[in-house]
Chains A and B, each alone.
Chain A
Amino acid sequence: MEQSRPARIVLRIFTILTLVFIYFPIAVIVLYAFNGNTSLQWPIGNLTLEWFGRALRDPGIRSALLLSLEVATLATIVALFLGSLAAFAVQRFRFFGRETISFIVILPLALPGIVTGIALNSAFRAVGIPLGTLTIVLGHATFCVVVIYNNVIARLRRTARSTEEASMDLGADTFRTFHAITLPAIRTALLAGGILAFALSFDEVIVTTFTAGLQQTLPIWILSNYLRPTQAPLVNVVAVFVLLLSIVPVYVAARMSSGTGGASGTR
């Protein structure tokens, strides 16, 4: 269908406006991080780097950052393990209930965050696990599995089995074949999925509020400090930091898995 000239112009304007809408808040928060004033009033004061230095020296921020990195790393490792096992099972075998696996895997991410949060909270209490780093990791790993699963299964679908069969015909056993053939084939999928899982865990807040107890991850730190006027400049800096740590890896992952569709469709 050929659009008329006015229709094309209108669509182009809508597209530009939508992009402005999408990026406007991100630009605002970046500007605020360099704000020379301590108040949150617009227009902001002279640009300064002062708050970046202060944020780096702040013990609360530092421990929250360390906890966030620790949690994201551990949750990613657990999710890599569980997600790729599930992907291999679904892609390589036919069994009863195979179609339900994809559904069960996506459930923790598809159900509202409060549901996953409160369900885990009730379970931890019922079993008697105290809320802390371990429970945050378990909660994050649960909803990160789907990212790995989607990336790995998409790659397995596109990888021919014939090279694996050739490897086995040439005398390599299952483990050697996995190491020499299968792993190199899915390595970038694991890496891309792992990066996305890391980013997902790093800025998750809803499930975390139900599983963290008294621990503070970086997003929880923002949540408990944004209303304190004296902390506002530091909150702005931490916000930009969290933003960078989620955008940069995702950009890398998107470049790596471009065409697999692994990055789309899920959060």
Chain B
Amino acid sequence: MPHEPAHPMTSDAAPLPAPPQSPLRRLSAQLYRRPRVQLAALLAPPLGWLVIAYLGSLAIMLIGSFFTVDAFTGAIVTEPSLSNYQTILTSEVYRTIALRTVLIAAAVTITDALIAFPIAYYMARMASGRNRGLLVVSILLPLWSSYLVKVYAWYLILAENGILNWLLAPFGLKGPGYGDVATWLVFSYLWLPYMILPIYAALERVPGSLLEASADLGARSWFTFRRVVLPLVFPAVVAGSIFTFSLTLGDYITPKILSNTQFIGNVVYANVGVAGDLPFAAAYATVPILIMIVYLMLARKAGAFESL
């Protein structure tokens, strides 16, 4: 295309033909003049669904948690009461289950942070370009591969006559079998990539000049790691922990398959299904929500949201 003429068009240039008019074209012109209408048209369907249907569902659930179930008829009594929450706070059983869930979620988070650091460090600062790409893909692939299948694979591995006991037998050792240890191990396995990826991203962003400066000032590797690298990467660890913690809190399939002890999720699921006390299930489901809200506020303070 030639350059824009410096002068206004001279008379010998033919006028542009008027664009063809069609209903679609008129609509287009109307829309162009009214960006607010465009915006409304774009936002209405997704917000209609997510705000009205999804947040609405959450609201219905929360309101429902203040109802009770009539012990005789099994019908839901729509008279607000705090009795469900009272049961949760006073009952030994429900407190133990909530505590177990939170403790295992915390243990999983710490385990994942410890396992993730070395591999993330290797990926970010030692692997060559090609290897790094390969490593990222090999961390991403299992993240997306079927959750249930991975749990089921561990169900086979940890079985009494499964491969783990077979591998350990020559050393006179035995695997953990099914139970809380198995749940902890498998949760750590499942959510590990969620911890590796943010730590890797953060380590990659640490400027090499800072490390050199630290070394020039006489710090040894370990000191530099503790005083320079760790503080810079900590927000990423917290970002990863949001996933490891939240996903463990809300899970019930893994404990169901690998253990006979209960998690918050198992109680919720049982009350939606067999036991049929939906209001109580809703009330108990608010426990992980409240814990996550507190956790997210703490994470925000630690600057984790910039590392997500």
Contacts and interface: CB of A to CB of B under 8 A. Distances in A.
Which 9 A-B residue pairs are closest in the complex by CB-CB distance?
Answer: A112-B250, A173-B28, A123-B57, A14-B118, A25-B153, A203-B146, A1-B211, A86-B46, A89-B42
Given A114-B265, A114-B269, A114-B288, A4 B49 contact: no
A1 B216 CA distance: 10
Given A18-B119, A145-B50, A206-B250, A26 B153 contact: yes
9 contacts: A2-B215, A18-B118, A25-B153, A40-B161, A82-B50, A86-B43, A141-B49, A240-B149, A250-B144
A29 B58 CA distance: 37
- Report whether over half of chain A's contact residues are helix, strand or loop; otherwise say mixed: helix
A89 B39 contact: yes
Contacts of B141: 247, 250-251, 254
A111 B289 CA distance: 7
Given A14-B119, A43-B163, A254-B140, 16 more contacts: A11-B126, A22-B192, A25-B154, A41-B161, A86-B47, A107-B50, A112-B247, A115-B58, A121-B272, A123-B57, A126-B64, A145-B49, A173-B29, A222-B152, A223-B253, A243-B145
A112 B251 contact: yes
B46 A85 contact: yes
Interface residues of B, number: 100
A222 B272 CA distance: 21
B249 A112 contact: yes
Contacts of B247: 112
Given A85-B45, A175-B28, A32 B145 contact: no
Contacts of A254: 137, 140-141
Contacts, number: 272
Give the contact-size bracket for chain A.
35 or more
B115 A18 contact: yes
A244 to B, nearest CB: 9
Interface string B30-73: 01100100110011011101110111111011001000000000
A2 B126 CA distance: 10
A101 B54 CA distance: 13
Interface string A237-255: 0011011001100110010
A13 to B, nearest CB: 9
Contact of B57 (A104, A120, A265): A120
B182 interface: no
Given A196-B144, A246-B145, A226 B252 contact: no
A106 B60 CA distance: 20
Contacts of B249: 112
Contact of B139 (A22, A125, A145): A22
Contacts of B47: 86, 101, 104
A264 B140 contact: yes
Contacts of A1: 125, 208, 211-212, 214-215, 221, 224-225, 229
Most buried by A among B16, B32, B141, B146: B146
Contact of A119 (B16, B57, B138): B57
B246 interface: yes
Contact of A263 (B28, B140, B149, B157): B140
Most buried by B among A10, A25, A200, A203: A25
B155 interface: yes
Given A8-B126, A88-B42, A203-B147, A82 B137 contact: no
A185 B157 CA distance: 46
B148 interface: yes
Given A89-B43, A112-B249, A121-B272, A219 B146 contact: yes
Nearest to B291: A112
A160 B241 CA distance: 35
Given A11-B126, A113-B251, A246-B146, A123 B139 contact: no
